[in-house]
Amino acid sequence: MSPERFDGIFFDLDGTLTDPFEGITGCIQHAMRGVGVPPPVQAELAWCIGPSLHESLCVLVGPSRADEALGLYRERFSRIGWRENRPYAGIADVLRGLQQQGGRLFVASSKPHVFVDRILQHFELAHFFQRTYGSELDGRFADKGELLDHALGELDFSGSNCLMIGDRSHDAVAAARHKMAFIGALYGFGSRDEYESAGYGAWAEEPGQIPGLIARA
């Protein structure tokens, strides 16, 4: 469909608009060391990019130390980690083109919205979006399905007339729960299996393929 036919087009942030590998994995290492758990190398922490961080920290350091680790993570992330991030090549052109075609663009990230907005402004992407949705620091809306529930309700949009673009299984599962169309950002941190198991078969190998996939959605 042409972009303006959707009530809203929702983009995930990490692994879809920007590559946060350096910052997220570096902050997890910092948090693990802080609670006395030797961290693996950064490449072995890439699976943590996308899902709720608290859940990943429960796996990495155990539930009893996850809250303390999350505090240490955020201390480094708010100071340094949020900037150890870069927009994917071509993503600004994609957003500009969709906006020019009348697309109503939104961000839906499980990251706290204070960081979402700071990152989008720093990389000059904020002006493409009508609204951004993220989690609260207390963990509310860290689940992508609940976040989309909140966003769709507030915007008074029908999920079946919206599109989600994200790189991980939780993006696809949340989209399916709300009967949204979905495009996988395969250049991020997920795999085709993660989209196919949620019932979707469209994915972009690079950002430049997104407009063509939206036209065929």
Indicate which residues carry an active-site annotation.
12
Cβ closest to Mg ion, residue 7 vs residue 171: 171
Q: Are 121 and 57 in contact (CB under 8 A)?
A: no
Task: Select from 8-16, 64-72, 88-96, 155-163 the region that touches Mg ion (CB under 5 A).
Answer: 8-16
Supply 56's token pair: 């990943």
Cβ closest to Mg ion, residue 65 vs residue 168: 168
The answer to the question of residue 194 lying near Mg ion (CB under 5 A) is no
Q: Are 205 and 65 in contact (CB under 8 A)?
A: no
Cβ closest to Mg ion, residue 26 vs residue 50: 50
Encoded one letter per residue, x for contact with Mg ion by CB under 5 A and - for no contact, window 78-117 reads ----------------------------------------
Contacts of residue 166, defined as CB under 8 A and 6 or more positions apart, other chains included, come to 11, 12, 15, 16, 50, 108, 144, 172, 175, 182, 184, 185, 188, 190
Q: Indicate which single residue of 7, 14, 143, 194 sits in contact with Mg ion (rule: CB under 5 A).
A: 14
Give me the least distance between CB of 12 and Mg ion, in Å please: 4
Residue with smallest beta-carbon separation from Mg ion: 15
What residues numbered 26-85 form the site for Mg ion, per CB under 5 A? 50
Torsion of CA 89, 189, 21, 93, to 10 degrees: 20
The answer to the question of residue 7 lying near Mg ion (CB under 5 A) is no
The answer to the question of residue 20 lying near Mg ion (CB under 5 A) is no
Cβ closest to Mg ion, residue 34 vs residue 184: 184
Q: Are 25 and 121 in contact (CB under 8 A)?
A: no
Maximal C-alpha separation, the chain: 52
How many amino acids of this chain bind Mg ion (CB under 5 A)?
6
Cα–Cα distance measured from residue 37 to residue 194, given in angstroms and rounded to the nearest whole number = 29
Cα–Cα distance measured from residue 56 to residue 101, given in angstroms and rounded to the nearest whole number = 38
The answer to the question of residue 143 lying near Mg ion (CB under 5 A) is no
Cα–Cα distance measured from residue 108 to residue 11, given in angstroms and rounded to the nearest whole number = 6
Q: Indicate which single residue of 3, 8, 10, 12 sits in contact with Mg ion (rule: CB under 5 A).
A: 12
Task: Select from 10-18, 146-154, 156-164, 175-183 the region that touches Mg ion (CB under 5 A).
Answer: 10-18
Cα–Cα distance measured from residue 208 to residue 51, given in angstroms and rounded to the nearest whole number = 25
Interface with Mg ion by CB under 5 A: which residues? 12, 14-15, 50, 167-168
